[in-house]
Amino acid sequence: MKKTCIIGSGYVGLVSGACFAELGNKVILIDNDAKKIKALKNNQVPIYEPGLDKLLKKNKSRISFSTNINEGILNSDIIFICVGTPPREDGSADLSSVERVATEIARNMNGYKLIVDKSTVPVETGEWVKTTIERNMAKKTPFDVASNPEFLREGTAIHDFLNPDRVVIGVSSKEAERILTELYKPLKAPIVVTDIKSAELIKHASNSFLAMKISFINSVANVCEKVGADVTKVAEGMGMDKRIGKTFLNAGPGFGGFCFPKDLEAFYWISKKLGYNFGILQEVKKVNEDQKKLIAKKIEDALWIIKDKTIAFLGLAFKPNTDDMRMAPSIDIINILHKKGAIIKAYDPESMGKAKTDMPFVKYCKNPLEVCKDADCVVLMTEWEEFKNLDFKKIRSIVKQPILIDTRNYYNPQTMKQLGYIYKGVGR
């Protein structure tokens, strides 16, 4: 059993804390948001992530919550930095929270500590954390800094943590390597041990590569549409080549969420700062922005005149099993249509609460049937399981016009055409 402290009880911190406790470790979760800590102490989880509440409850005896960072530092041997690194206006990562935490750690160390960065940070942050600690130390105390990036997907984060393809550990000492290898041993996953800078780069490079795969297939989809080919078949044929792989080749409305857009931007920015123009990343971003405009155009083309038409959105979140609306493609698409005078209705199983903040003008509905009623066009935006087997025969009888825009290629085009829909997918 290791004594761990997680500084930053956001998405990454909470999932990691719950999972480290599940592996038998003692965990202190810290956050400076008193409201959040109070809620967590009362078994209320501030984010929607399937299974997280149960896992926190199950391991309650090994988990404690506090707003007091010193308490966490004093009572643990391994300190994980899981604070936010939000994008600044120029796209670079704002590392002020990381610096603040490093300074606090330096001032309160009471013996050897292993300080591990889990937040997504640009390369060379580990070095800065080390320098910051050395500069602010109250008295000389031994410590190590390590990088241990996370690869958690929202909606499957607990599964991803407990069943990783690999664990990446960036270290500069044998002791740090030993401690982290032991901590992750129960997962029985391959462990990649590298220097700190390489570990930091693995995170940015992995996310940017996945984003590139999506923009690539979306570009292929656009060519498919021009010649009447089927992108799902092209992706299937490509993906069977093991060097390419099947995943992340689903054409759609473009990637969203907090990670891909932010990491892409930050990776471009840090490369530029280091004197390298990583042009591919700019193009990946451009294709993604254009894809949202193309979907809005597809809707407009199907309706001819947008003004005063009712458009029904099935799903709003950037992907299923999350309530996260950050950078969701639905926001850009809906805003384009709204500006042109469309009446927007929407239903999402989880994200409507958050969507209301960005899009107060949308009429939010209680279920799929209510949203589709009297619609001139139905748009499948997020591939929630709940939408898989909708009664499209019934929906056909309640819509004003049978136009179905399937931005995720979720439905069978033939079936929809047989039911009388004008069906439009992406790239097929």
Site residues, ligand UDX (CB under 6 A) = 150-154, 207, 210, 214, 248-250, 252, 255-257, 259-260, 318-319
CB of 291 to ligand UDX, least distance (A): 9
CB of 310 to ligand UDX, least distance (A): 25
Nearer to ligand UDX, 255 or 423 (CB): 255
Provide the 8-state DSSP code for 152: P
CB of 305 to ligand UDX, least distance (A): 29
CA dihedral 134, 137, 140, 146 (to 10 degrees): -50
Nearer to ligand UDX, 69 or 158 (CB): 158
* Selection from 3, 1, 50, 328 nearest residue 14 by Cα: 50
Residue 353: both structure tokens together: 């609460």
3-state secondary structure of 344: strand
**86-93, Cβ contacts within 8 angstroms, sequence gap of 24 or more:** 86/262, 87/262, 87/265, 87/266, 90/269, 91/265, 91/266, 91/268, 91/269, 92/122, 92/266, 92/269, 92/270, 92/273, 93/120, 93/121, 93/122, 93/262, 93/266, 93/269, 93/270
Q: Which residue is nearest to ligand UDX (CB)?
A: 259
Residue 92 · residue 266 · CB < 8 Å: yes
Residue 85 · residue 98 · CB < 8 Å: yes
d(CA 114, CA 108): 13
CB of 84 to ligand UDX, least distance (A): 13
Nearer to ligand UDX, 65 or 318 (CB): 318
Instruction: Give the other-Cβ count within 10 Å of 46's Cβ.
Output: 15
| 259 is known as an active-site residue | yes
CB of 224 to ligand UDX, least distance (A): 15
d(CA 329, CA 320): 13
Nearer to ligand UDX, 319 or 354 (CB): 319
CA dihedral 28, 29, 34, 37 (to 10 degrees): -100
Residue 259 · residue 266 · CB < 8 Å: no
Catalytic residue among 5, 19, 224, 259: 259
Nearer to ligand UDX, 76 or 351 (CB): 351
Nearer to ligand UDX, 67 or 198 (CB): 198
Nearer to ligand UDX, 59 or 207 (CB): 207
d(CA 373, CA 312): 8
CB of 256 to ligand UDX, least distance (A): 4
CB of 25 to ligand UDX, least distance (A): 21
Give the residue numbers annotated as catalytic, written as ranges: 259
